[in-house]
Structure formats: structure tokens, C-alpha cells
Amino acid sequence: MSMPIRLLQEFIKQDVKSPVPRTRGDEIAVYISTWLNTPVPWYSMVLGMLLLRRGHPVHFVWDDLRDPFLPVDERQLNEIGEALQLLSRRGIAFYRLSAMEKVAPDEEFLENALRLASLNAVWWHKTPVPGPGLHSRRYESLRTLLDNLPGIAGYFSAVAPRRMLLPGGIFSNSGLFLHACQRNGIPVTSYDSGVASVSTGIDSVAAHLDDIPHVMYRLLDDKDAITAARAYGEAELQKRFDGVDKYVFQPVRRGTLPSGQYDILFPLNIENDSSALGKHVFFEDSLEWLVETLDFILAETRATVAIRQHPYEKRIAGRNDALIGRLAERYSASGRVTIFDCNSPVNTYDLMAACRMVLPFVSSIAVEAAIMGKVVIPVAPAFYAGFSFAQMPRDRGEYFRLIQSQLQEEAGPDAGAVDEAWLAYYLSQICGRIWTDFTPQPGDYEQWSKRTMVELEADPAVDAVLRCLGDGEYISMVQHERIQREGLKRVYRGAA
């Protein structure tokens, strides 16, 4: 995608040194890279210009180092350089990583590069199941990250940024930047996007929704907020039951087909989705988690199990079914494990209604399970793990003990825990994204790049994005406040 030259020209014509007060805290380092030859660099550049106009000092960090996935697009790289040179003549500095003095990374940096290489391999290969493609991708990613580390370490050594804004937080070199900020105590905001929506994170990967606990604790004693959360949540959940919500994940309405009775449901995540990458703490990956947990259940309990592949997977081009295939191969003959792949004509909420316990990885459907009165035992620090409706085990041993003991209990979450679940559901599913065409998605970019800077600044949704990425506000609180002020239909596009 070509640079938004008209927006750059408009910005440059207005003297950026003149009327803008520099009163909004430390300078923000805005990360720029080709990002799979998408509009992401132009989006980041325009974010930087908008933040500068709001009074935030800004400089750009140009990551022109090797990409572990695709050969560089020389035309886009040249356009980025041209745009940054134009902006530098108006006083916005930029640092080019390939020109930084190299600094040898320490052991902690190297260990993190190994972790990120594995996550990037899963992202690319779409499964954690071992195979030649996964191993070769991990090796190639690690080699590239190790080659790039000295330039990145050199930037942090020479520039010592005070704040940073970046896309992703896992993909390519962005994970190395997030780690460098976290270990050096540098506040960092990250963003992710889907079509017509943006998510943001503070000191974390945006898709992990780590802001939710912070906002939960602010609102838990607010009875009006919980009442509103429940009302908005009930309407949204009913749409999902019926398969008519904004995402339309479910292939059939709830109650359309009988699904049997099960003791335990495993609702699987999409393994290469950013929300799931990097979240395991008790197990190496989801293959190890599922195999060891299912083996334990079959050996130590009499429970029956349903496994549901995420229904959205059926829409993913070139999806990798190795994980669900491995589980089918190992457990189909057990007589106690039933596997529903992404093409199964079953509503996941029917499976949930028919079970006693839900064992999620980081799926948000666990919150809905608690609302439906089910026992939820998390295996990873999802945004809901640790609240009373989803107590987080301390280790793998306690995880297994809880499964065994809770199968012998009849009680589900109490009324207070269900209130917490409704609040978590509202904050994550309704307030967890900013709905706007101001995103780096190609179709959205084609629309907003035709607008002027003044038009963008006047858009309440763009203002919300800048509050999160520039001012460092929690996205779910920003959206909650907007719903209170502007109304649900103006803020949440799924409300229509």
C-alpha cells in the first residue's frame, strides 16, 4: 500500500512547531516497519502526527532490518524513508535501526528471542504440532531475530526512549521491542486490529486484553456499572446463542441439534491468533496441555469429554488441522472423548449447556460458561483468570487436583461470582475494541486515508484510539465511558 501522501503534505504545510502545546508528558517513540507490506507503517506514521498535534512529543523508530517472513518490498521501504525524511525536515526525528551502533545482547534478550521465534513459527504454521515446516520456520525466525538483536539493543542503549508505541508485540521484531521496554521499565502501548476495529494494550500484547483486570477492580463496587454490564451483556449473549451476533461464529442456533451430555468441555482457541500466543505457563504448548490433561482425566476420573475446535477455523484459508487431527487419532477410540471439529453443525453453547465443567486455554467463552453456571478452571493467565468465577491454579499439580475435586462437587459459581463474570464479559466483548474505520486494515485504510487530519481529529472513535495509545488509558474504560456518554449504539457496532 502506498504512503498517504496527501495527509503528509497537509501535515507538513501546517507548521508543526507553531501552535501545538508540548504539555502531554514524555516523548513517544513510534515504531515503523514494513509489516508484511501492509498499511501498518502508514497507520503508525499518521498516529505519530496526530499525537504530535495533540501535544505529545514524538520520534519515529524505523525498523528496516530483515523480516523473518517475507522479502522486503523495496518500493515500500523507499517510500517509508522518503516520508520520514520529509517529516524530519519539520522537526520530527527518526532513528534507522540499520544505522544504529550494534550492542551485544545479554542472555535475557537471547532467551526471549528463542521464545518469540517459537511463537512466530506457530503464528506462521498455524499449529504447535511438531513437523518439518514448524521446525524450519522456528529456525529461520530465530536466526533473523538474533541477527536483528544488536541493532535493537543499540537503539535502546543510544536513545533510551521514555515511552513507546508499537503494533503487535509478538510478530517479527515487535516482540523484541516489547520485551526491551518491559525489562527497562519503559511504558509501552501496543495495538492490534481487525476489519473496522482496533484493540490496544498497556505494557502488554494488545490482543491479550490485560487491561480488563485493572478496570474490573475499579468497577466491582459500582452497582450501576454491573447492572448495565448485565443488561448489555444479556442482549449480546442472546445474539451469540442464536448465531446472529456480529461475528456469526456458530453455524446453527442454540437448541437446533442435540449434542449429548458431557462432564467436561474443552473450547479450543485458534492457536495462531495473537490472543493465544505466548500465554501458556504450565505447559510448553496446547498439544502438551491437551494430551497430558486428557490422559489425566481418562486415567484418574470417569468423566466424559467434549472437545470443540473453534468454529471460526472453517473460514481460515489454509488452516492447519494438525492439532485436532492428533487428538482424534489419540482419543477417538477411548469411548469417553467426543471431538467436534470446526465443520461440525453444532452450537458450542449447546455443548456448554450439556457439560458440568469448562477447561479453557484463554478463550473468552469461559466467561460465558461462568454466566451459565459452569465451573471454569483456567490453565493460563487469561484476562479473567483469578477472579472468583475462574480461580487460577498455582501450578500444574494444582490444576489437575482442581479438575478431580471439582468433578465431585455440584456447586457452580455463586451470585457474586456471576456478577463478576457479567462485568468481565461486558468489558471484554463490548468494550474491548474501538469500532472505527481508522485501522491499518487495507479496506479501512482506503477509506480514512482520503480524510483530512482535521476530520480524523474530530472523529470520537479516533479520539478514543489516541487516548489509549497516546495518553495510556485502558481501552475498556475508555469505551465504557463513551457508552455512558454517547450510548451503546454509537460506540458498539454489534448493538445494531
pLDDT digits (tens, 9 = 90+) for 25-71: 789 999 999 998 899 999 999 999 999 989 999 999 999 999 888 77
pLDDT of residue 496: 64
Q: In what helix (H) or strand (E) does residue 365 lie, and over which residues does it extend?
A: helix 365-371
E strands within 94-231? Answer: 94-96, 163-167, 188-194, 197-202
Q: How far apart are CA 180 and CA 97, in angstroms?
A: 15
Whole-angstrom CA distances from 422 to 210, 234, 236, 237, 247 are: 17, 9, 11, 10, 19
Mean pLDDT, range 260-288, rounded to an integer? 96
Mean pLDDT, range 158-165, rounded to an integer? 96
Helical segments of 160-193, H only? 174-183
Whole-angstrom CA distances from 50 to 45, 188, 255, 418, 463 are: 9, 18, 49, 41, 10
CB 208 within 8 A of CB 229: no
E strands within 347-469? Answer: 357-358, 375-376, 434-435
pLDDT tens digit sequence for 227-264 = 999 999 999 999 999 989 888 889 888 987 676 899 99
Q: How far apart are CA 168 and CA 175, in angstroms?
A: 8
Q: How far apart are CA 311 and CA 267, in angstroms?
A: 10
- Name residue 94's beta-bridge partners: 60
One-letter amino acid at 195 equals: V
Q: Domains along the chain?
A: 5-209+432-495 (no CATH), 214-430 (3.40.50.2000)
pLDDT of residue 17: 46
pLDDT of residue 187: 97
Whether the pLDDT of residue 11 is over 80: the answer is: no
Mean pLDDT, range 335-359, rounded to an integer? 95
pLDDT tens digit sequence for 386-433 = 999 999 999 999 999 999 999 998 788 999 999 999 999 999 999 999
What are the cell numbers at 319?
488452516
CB 399 within 8 A of CB 379: yes
Q: How far apart are CA 3 and CA 8, in angstroms?
A: 8
Report residue 161's pLDDT band, with 50, 70 and 90 as the boundaries.
very high
pLDDT tens digit sequence for 179-236 = 999 999 999 999 999 999 999 999 999 999 999 999 999 999 999 999 999 999 999 9
What are the cell numbers at 144?
533473523
Hey, is 440 helix, strand or coil? coil
